[in-house]
Amino acid sequence: AQSVTQPDIHITVSEGASLELRCNYSYGATPYLFWYVQSPGQGLQLLLKYFSGDTLVQGIKGFEAEFKRSQSSFNLRKPSVHWSDAAEYFCAVGAPNDYKLSFGAGTTVTVRA
């Protein structure tokens, strides 16, 4: 079965600085990979996803993620953070032909002025 680890529980970043959130997965082949964001009091929203092809994926709100097979990673990046990016970010992994997505425990991002 697949699993995902988000090593950072909480990250604080200054507004305008760059942000990188780590995600490591465990799966024997190339999985489906997702990043979701959850703003306070709201449900999760998809930022981006990777199935195959170009390993650098562009998403909404200026986010991108890079799939690295050799490191079993799918890290999320944003070059310049805005205060509205303060939220909880979840990495998820799914197996082809499966129904289940496995989510990480999430990384909380705080943006300071």
Partner 1 sequence: ETGVTQTPRHLVMGMTNKKSLKCEQHLGHNAMYWYKQSAKKPLELMFVYNFKEQTENNSVPSRFSPECPNSSHLFLHLHTLQPEDSALYLCASSQGNGRARETQYFGPGTRLLVL
Name the residues that contact partner 1, by CB under 8 A: 4, 9, 32, 36, 41-46, 49, 51, 90, 94-106
State how far the Cα of 26 lies from the Cα of 49, in Å rounded to an integer: 17
Q: Are 101 and 2 in contact (CB under 8 A)?
A: no
- Which residue type sits at 112? R
47, 76 in Cβ contact below 8 A? Answer: yes
Q: Which residues contact 87 (CB under 8 A, 6 or more apart)?
A: 37, 38, 39, 40, 108, 109
Shortest separation between residue 77's beta carbon and partner 1, angstroms: 21
Q: Which is nearer to partner 1, 22 or 32 (CB)?
A: 32
Least Å distance, CB 40 to partner 1, is 10
Closest CB 33 distance from partner 1, rounded Å = 10
Q: Which is nearer to partner 1, 30 or 80 (CB)?
A: 30
Residue among 45 and 84 whose Cβ is closer to partner 1: 45
